[in-house]
Amino acid sequence: MRSKDTAENARQVKPKESEQIPTAQPSKPKKRHIWRWVAGTVAVLILIPVLYLGYLGFVPGLSSVFGSNKPKDLGVRYTAADYTSYQQKTGSQYLDFANAPPNPNKLGKKIVFGDPKQMDLNLTQSEVTAAINSVGWAWMPIKNAQVRFGDGTVEVSGNVNGAVIPDFVNFIGGVGYSQSDVEKASVWAKRLGNPPIYLKGNATVTDNVLDLRVTEAQVGRFKVSIASAEKVLSTGTINIKNNAVGYFVQSASFQNSQLHFVGTAPTTTYVKH
């Protein structure tokens, strides 16, 4: 009996095809799921560069979220007393260009610089910072400025004033780039919401000869070519010196958080208000 039962159990009757249990087949992804994946990927690819540019300070609004639209804080503070002290030390006054007298040496032109004076003085970083922010010059190329002096070094931070770049560059006589390049820089500075800049370098002047070495230059948080920064600063400084009547620097250097200046400089400057 046991062998018979075993034989019967061994015989298996295959179920009919209609009775077979179908195996589960993987369902095909729906098209809308694919499009959601594609859209999500594209959004991420777009968002990452935008966030990065915002972090660098090149996306107005978003840059303010990162705080990258604010200039680097150099820890230099100033008051109205610092500007008064600057004026007293230098004897400088900044008058409205509309009231400037005609230039007897250049027909159809007005005097910009006048009343040169021999000087031997020390200016603090707070006094220089106060002067940059307080003269009321419409073509001042930097706003929210801070200037810090070290032993042989100078640092400058602030926001670019993009709208006045062409006027400023024309006023000083150029910065080594074409008018077209200057106009493009102005347009981009305005589009980017007047991004912050930061410059650091070593500089001295002896007998009107500038020795400048830029060690760091940034626009937003983007590092600028040292060679380009030196070209702009050197050319601009030389042109200012050549165009400022009565301006001669015997020596200028930075030490003990001060600028030591010996030379002749105009005390009256007519500027556009």
Q: What is the pLDDT of residues 258-273, one digit of tens each?
A: 999 999 999 999 988 8
pLDDT class of 89 with cuts at 50, 70, 90: very high
Residue 145 scores a pLDDT above 80? yes
Residue 44 scores a pLDDT above 70? no
Nearest by Cα to 112 from 123, 122, 125, 99: 99
Residue 45 scores a pLDDT above 50? no
C-alpha span between 66 and 57 (Å, rounded):
8
Task: Specify the pTM.
Answer: 0.74
DSSP string, 111-125: --EEEEEEEEEEEEH
CB-based contacts of 139: which residues, under 8 Å, 6+ apart? Answer: 164, 167, 168, 171, 271, 272
C-alpha span between 124 and 258 (Å, rounded):
5
Q: What is the pLDDT of residues 128-142, one digit of tens each?
A: 999 999 998 898 899
DSSP code of 102?
Answer: B
C-alpha span between 57 and 50 (Å, rounded):
11
pLDDT value at position 14?
52
C-beta separation of 113 from 101 below 8 A: no
DSSP string, 172-198: HT--SS-HHHHHHHHHHHHHTTS-EEE
Tokens of 68: 């990258």
CB-based contacts of 30: which residues, under 8 Å, 6+ apart? Answer: none
C-beta separation of 198 from 156 below 8 A: yes
C-beta separation of 231 from 176 below 8 A: yes
